A and B are shown apart, each in its own frame.
Chain A
Amino acid sequence: MNIGYYPGCALHGSSNDYEQSLRACLGVLDVQLQEVKDWICCGATAAHALNHKLSLALPARNLALAERDGLKQLFAPCPLCSMQLLKVQKAMAGNGLRTELSQIVEADLRGDGQIMNLIQIFQTVGLDKLKAAVKESLKSITAACYYGCLLTRPPDVVHFDDFEQPKSMEAVLAALGAKTVEWSYKTECCGAGMTMANEDTVLDLAHKILCNAAAHGANCVVVACPMCHVNLDMKQAAVEQRYGEKLGMAVYYLSDLVGLALGLSAEQLGINRHFVTKA
């Protein structure tokens, strides 16, 4: 399967372990990623917060570039990037914004491509095929699947899974032989892009999420978002210091666990580059 790929800034920056993980994992599943040429930042939370028109124009440029490259399906592994692309498609549907945005981004826009997150990639591969490809059943894993804010919300934009009680990540892990827990924080916010600007809030939210996962019997948290990983993994030592508790909760990207089940090593997946590591 050949699929368009919009990595976004985080995966080419400090979350490059996520890109390593998904490239290794999808390579085994025979999914080839065709990166959008000369893609630009989607504007992330900053554009959303400060300039509505810009928050549409920046992802619209990427949609236009993907369309120029003939990419009918576009995989955006960061849920914020993915949501921004879907938001533009929604804004263009049925009104005059298509013409205005095409003029702003200096390229014709159709907005008819399919935007996909990581879970949807595995669904497209097929959970039965995934199950058949498992070499190392993940019996020792009891995961708290953490969706965060944007994998399922806003529901009228992303149209993916149940926006309050999603189950799609659990289904992928079940195919790998892993157990999952029912817990209370799977769609709560981790503070996302506030990591630097409002660290107190991020540490408080991350503490609640990690403690709730542990209280429900999870031995790891699984994410499909680079910012969620930063806040729960990289900031975990700061959480422990602030609250005087040892958490030691491993935080995996979903592609890490799929890759391990497919027989890849922690080094091949970049798990050894996480901050919290567990045997």
Chain B
Amino acid sequence: MMDALREISLAEGMVAPSQQPVVSFQQAFLDNIRRNGRLAELELIAQFKTAVFFHTGRLAFLFKDASLAPQLGKRKKLHFLPGKVHDRKVVERIFAKCSNRADK
């Protein structure tokens, strides 16, 4: 029931301002998968930070955690060219068939 209520409240635009970053993250995540088939982490971070910046105007948020990048790079955990799905068209069609108002 909570899942259904959450989906309805999102579709109606009833998101508490404090929770907007969570919704922005999840929307960016789904958009990322729709286009790539699998998650492209660096692209997601850029998408998410940009979305939060436009919602809040907090410039500092764009650079938050930037110091982690070299540490992740040192540990070979950054992937600039993540693996892509061969049949990405089918992923787009799956998204189209499941489309609702909350994930946009």
Contacts and interface: CB of A to CB of B under 8 A. Distances in A.
A17 interface: yes
Interface residues of B, number: 45
Interface of B: 3-4, 6-7, 10, 21-27, 29-30, 33, 37-39, 41, 45, 48, 65, 68, 71-72, 75-79, 82-83, 85-87, 90-91, 93-95, 97-98, 100, 102-103
A274 B76 CA distance: 11
A9 interface: yes
B22 A50 contact: no
Contact of A54 (B30, B45, B76): B30
Contact of B26 (A15, A41, A45, A105): A45
Given A105-B90, A106-B94, 5 more contacts: A12-B38, A13-B77, A46-B33, A51-B100, A51-B103
Contacts of A10: 39
B98 A51 contact: yes
Interface string A44-55: 111111111110
Chain A interface main SS type: helix
Interface in A163-198: 193-194, 196-198
Band of interface residues on A = 35 or more
Contact of B94 (A9, A13, A54, A274): A54
Given A14-B72, A41-B33, A197-B22, A48 B38 contact: no
Nearest to A103: B97
A254 B76 CA distance: 21
A14 B77 contact: yes
Contact of B3 (A9, A48, A104): A48
A94 B95 CA distance: 25
Contacts of A50: 7, 10, 23, 26-27, 30, 100, 102-103
Contacts of A51: 7, 30, 98, 100, 102-103
B98 A104 contact: yes
A117 B22 CA distance: 28
B22 A194 contact: yes
A275 interface: yes
A170 to B, nearest CB: 29
